[in-house]
Amino acid sequence: MLPWFLALYDAIGYLGIGIGVALETFIPIIPSEVIVPMAGWKVSQSAADPAVVEPLTGAPWSFVIALLVATVGAVAGSLAGYLIGARGGRPLLDRYGRYVHIHAAELDRADAWFARYGDRAVLLGRLVPLVRALINYPAGVARMPIGRFLLFSALGSLPWNAALLLGGYALGANYERLYQAVRPFEYVIYVIVVIGVVLVLYRWTRRSPGVQSEG
């Protein structure tokens, strides 16, 4: 899989980044922890050797453009997952999801995440491995307002992509180590995000006039 994505970047540059990130955003088997740092590596190659250029523009690879394209790709992939959930619902996912490594237990987890945290689950889910590729579906099933969904998808994807691009830039050709470093801490990331969400919701409900006792 990885040589295929690298060949895609070498062939169509930024467009390849957009396609790769769009695919990983709704297919869990594709790890963003590798394909996005791979783009950061291309940027670092250009920084070290001006002769290494992006194939479509003929200019050196740009971190900013790579970040913007990756984020647009993430939003496009998110929208695809959202539309699948909105049009086909859970029965479609249960029937065909296994063909792209989407299993019922994982969907149950994403459903519970969305049911508990509502629209905020889309924003926060973008920062959590696996959840980021699954949260689109329950958002679509619930018919979350599409404008809000796209905004939260973009806001959540931007810092995630920036961090992975920076990691790939710093690691250079050893970008795959970032994937190996991130994977053992997935559950730690889950716990940190869940604690953060609980604290935010707790503070928000305490400040909300609707939860204060009358008289």
pLDDT in tens, 73-115: 999 998 988 888 777 766 666 665 555 556 566 566 666 666 6
Q: Say what the pTM is.
A: 0.71
Q: Measured between alpha carbons, how far is 9 from 19 in angstroms, rounded to an integer?
A: 10
Q: Measured between alpha carbons, how far is 28 from 107 in angstroms, rounded to an integer?
A: 11
| Segment 163-205, tens digit of pLDDT | 889 988 887 766 556 555 555 555 555 555 556 556 655 665 6
* pLDDT score at 212: 44
Of 7, 140, 40, the closest CA to residue 80 belongs to: 140
Of 125, 112, 98, the closest CA to residue 32 belongs to: 125
Q: Measured between alpha carbons, how far is 69 from 87 in angstroms, rounded to an integer?
A: 27
Q: Are 41 and 175 in contact (CB under 8 A)?
A: yes
| 65 confidence band (pLDDT: 50, 70, 90) | very high
Q: Are 167 and 40 in contact (CB under 8 A)?
A: yes
3-class secondary structure, 108? helix
| Segment 8-64, tens digit of pLDDT | 898 999 999 999 999 888 776 677 777 888 899 899 989 888 888 999 999 999 999
Radius of gyration of the chain from Cα atoms? 19
Q: Are 152 and 119 in contact (CB under 8 A)?
A: yes
Of 182, 184, 162, the closest CA to residue 39 belongs to: 162
- Give strand ranges (E) for the chain: none
What integer is the mean pLDDT of 103-132? 69
Higher local confidence (pLDDT), 146 or 178: 146
What integer best gives the mean pLDDT of the chain?
76
* pLDDT score at 63: 95
DSSP at 93: H
Domain boundaries, the chain: 2-186
